[in-house]
Amino acid sequence: MPVLVKAFSTPRSRRLALTTGVLCGLVLLFCALYQFAFVNPKFFAYAMGLRAPRLVVMLTAGFSISAAAIVFQTIIRNNIVTPCLLGMNSLYLLIHTAVVFFLGSGSAFATNPVMAFAVDIVLMGVIATFIYYTIFQKTGGNVLYVLLIGTVLSTFFSSMQNSLTRVMDPNEYDALLNSLIASFTNVNLACIIPGILLLAAIAWWLRRDLAILDIVSLGREQAVSLGVDYERTLRRLMVGVALYIAVATALVGPLSFLGLITANVARQLLPTYRHTWLIAGAGLVGMLILCAGQFVVEHVMVYSVPVSVFVTIGGGLYFLYLILTAK
């Protein structure tokens, strides 16, 4: 108890704790609204069976994408970049398009959610690990080269995906469209637990690197002088970011601007260099956006617009705001 009192004895610490507490309260509020609002008592059990998996996936995706964005921005040392620059979203679209193009929309890899999830994780994980681990070795940990190569790869994957869709059968393309848009309405329960376990395993693997993020944020020279193996740490963290984005994207689909929004909102609400607070704050903001957004989509928009559209439009406008107000 004395340790807790001392930890929150300063005005800044109390502000961080209060802001985090408010975010937790809002997340719990919208979780309860999404889970229990507008439920017909006759179909209560059926509604809970549908909503509970979606809620778990929203919380998982919101936290993983937001946490990856905070780590990525710390590595790059730039607050207006997003992990989607690594090309994971474009690779996801290419994988699903290639599966339908070469195997058909009726194949097991296209219709079985578990097999589709496994293909996404394996291909995205292996490609991301190989590419970015190799890039860091070849470039000596130069994050600018990694960003440039990630942008080129993203364009390359998008071009290949567009080429396949142009020559694809129109009926196959119609069947493909649903899997290319981020959605929480078609969540498969069998994919949730493996995804969460994989995210937990990645976090455990990176636990020592995550513990020194505050030092890494000081820059290479300062971190090396404090005894940090800077290149190795950044290499492992970059692979971890790519894997986190891969898992989250495989669960729900591409949410390009979510990390940009949550990371910068968290930095504005929690003015601190401590990544424990920043990751927690960004994760809560991500959960809040997805839970509140999906609640509006289902009960106000009546499924007419997916939540990814709101995230993309809001993220684009917020990105312009950050660019125009950057000093």
SS3 for 172-216, per residue? HHHHHHHHHCCCCCCCCHHHHHHHHHHHHHHHHHCHHHHHCHHHH
Asked if residue 4 belongs to a domain, the reply is no
Asked if residue 193 belongs to a domain, the reply is yes
Asked if residue 88 belongs to a domain, the reply is yes
Asked if residue 41 belongs to a domain, the reply is no
Asked if residue 56 lies in contact with residue 192, where contact means CB atoms within 8 angstroms, the answer is yes
Q: Which amino acid is at 59?
A: L
What percent of the chain clears pLDDT 70, i.e. is strictly above it? 94
pLDDT of the residue at 8? 54
Write the pLDDT tens digit of every residue in 173-185: 877 877 777 778 7
Asked if residue 127 belongs to a domain, the reply is yes
pLDDT of the residue at 284? 96
- Per the model's pLDDT, the better-predicted residue between 300 and 206 turns out to be 206
Beta strands in the chain (DSSP E): none
CATH value at residue 257: 1.10.3470.10
pLDDT of the residue at 278? 94
DSSP code, position 272: -
Q: Which domain holds residue 120?
A: 24-31+50-325
- pLDDT(232) > 80: yes
Query: What own/partner pairs with CB < 8 Å and gap ≥ 24 does 141-148 have?
Result: 141/220, 141/230, 141/231, 141/234, 141/235, 143/75, 143/76, 143/77, 143/234, 146/238, 147/76, 147/81, 147/85
Question: Taking Cα atoms as reference points, which of 39, 172, 182, 198 lies closest to residue 107?
Answer: 172
Asked if residue 17 belongs to a domain, the reply is no
pLDDT of the residue at 262? 94
pLDDT of the residue at 122? 86
Asked if residue 211 belongs to a domain, the reply is yes
Write the pLDDT tens digit of every residue in 92-149: 888 888 888 888 877 777 778 888 888 888 888 888 777 777 776 676 666 677 778 8
Asked if residue 10 belongs to a domain, the reply is no
**Average pLDDT of every residue of the chain:** 85
Does the pTM of the predicted model rise above 0.85?
Answer: yes
Asked if residue 157 lies in contact with residue 90, where contact means CB atoms within 8 angstroms, the answer is yes
Paired tokens of 324? 């125009």
Structural domains in the chain (count): 1
Q: How confident is the model at residue 254 (pLDDT cuts 50, 70, 90)?
A: confident
Residue 71, classed as helix, strand or coil, is: helix
